[in-house]
Structure 1
Amino acid sequence: MKNSPENVAYLNKLLTLNFNTEKAFINLSENIESESVSKFLRLISNDRAQFIKALDSAIRNEGGIPEYPQVSTPLMVGYGLNEILKSIKSSHDDVFTFTEIGKIQMIDIERYQAVINKLDLSDELEHTLKIQKENLVMTLYAINVYKDSCLRNKVAV
């Protein structure tokens, strides 16, 4: 591994990203009226918990120390996510909510791809990150299915 300290730094950024997003999704699932959206948020927050465990292990395997963020509120997640989460909380439109969750997933997919492209990773670590990124992509597909379902239900009413 040529850039092990650099790898650890980027892995810690992904750890922080997933930690904050998981906490934000849990908080949002507890404070949203729509039961279907709440269940979906709990499901994808569970995915993030699994990502965190894998990243923690990867950081340790690289000889680093996982750096978990100090979170004063569940919404302190950076990169404009506060605004997205606040708009979701104030909305009663499931289609809008799923669209906004999709934006979060897209931002995270881009961040994963940037790390994969930038670093000299072991095959195992690259595989782990690609699987996590693919999981985010699959969630994005699921979001589109939920949105289509919501739209069909609106038309049927």
Structure 2
Amino acid sequence: MKNSPEITAHLNKLLTLNFNTERAFINTAEAIESDSVAKFLRLISHDRSQFIKALDSAIRDQGSVPEYPEVTVPLTIGYGLNEILKNIKASNNEEFIFTEIGKIQMMDIERYQAVINKFDFSEKLESTLKKQKENLVMTLYAINVYKDSCSRNKIAV
């Protein structure tokens, strides 16, 4: 496959993105008071774990070695995730929290789409990346449904 080192580099970026996001969601779930939000964060962190396994396999299929971030290093993710997570931990408003989680999902959807658009992948790898992106989209949809439910409950009360 042409561009294999460049493809591997982008796959490693997605691997790191999912690894850090999974850790962030787990840490946030442990620090938040809302059981429903904590359960949701654990659920989507499990999705990220599955993404990591698939990306690890895809990188190895490219003949490369996956590059995981250092676990001992404090979580520094960039692209505003640390600020979003700080806002989530400081809030008790579930609608606000889900809005912030939705921002993370949206940023990651955009990153996946950029990688998908950049390369001509094998059918298997493209399918894997598209399925992961679609999973992020479905999670974003679920977030919006939950936020709508929260809004309706406020109006009904």
Q: Aligning the two structures, in what range does the TM-score lie when normalised by the shorter sequence?
A: over 0.9
| Contact 1:19/1:52 (<8 A) preserved | yes
Match of 2:140 in 1: 140
CA contact 1:24–1:77 (8 Å) conserved in 2? no
Does the CA contact (< 8 Å) of 1:3 and 1:120 recur in 2? no
User: Residue 129 of structure 2 aligns with which residue?
Assistant: 129
Separation of aligned partners in 2, 1:145 and 1:26 = 22
Higher relative contact order (CA 8 A, sep 6+): 1
2: CA distance, partners of 1:50 / 1:87: 26
1:104 equivalent in structure 2: 104
With the length of structure 2 as denominator, give the TM-score of the two structures.
Answer: 0.96
C-alpha deviations, 1:72-98, integer Å up to 9, x for none? 23x422211100000111011101100
CA deviation after TM superposition for structure 1 residue 150, in Å? 1.4
Which structure 2 segments of 5+ residues have no match?
none
Secondary structure at 1:120 match in 2: coil
Rounded to whole Å, the distance in 2 between the matches of 1:120 and 1:2 is 9
The TM-score with structure 1 as length reference comes to 0.96
1:10-29 aligned within 5 A: 10-29=10-29
Runs of 4+ in 1 over 3 A off after TM superposition: none
Q: Percent identity?
A: 77
In the TM superposition, residue 119 of structure 1 has moved relative to its aligned partner by: 1.3
| Counterpart position of 2:48 | 48
CA distance in 2, matches of 1:152, 1:30: 28
1:9 maps to 2:9:
yes
Contact in 2 for aligned 1:15/1:56 (Cα 8 Å): yes
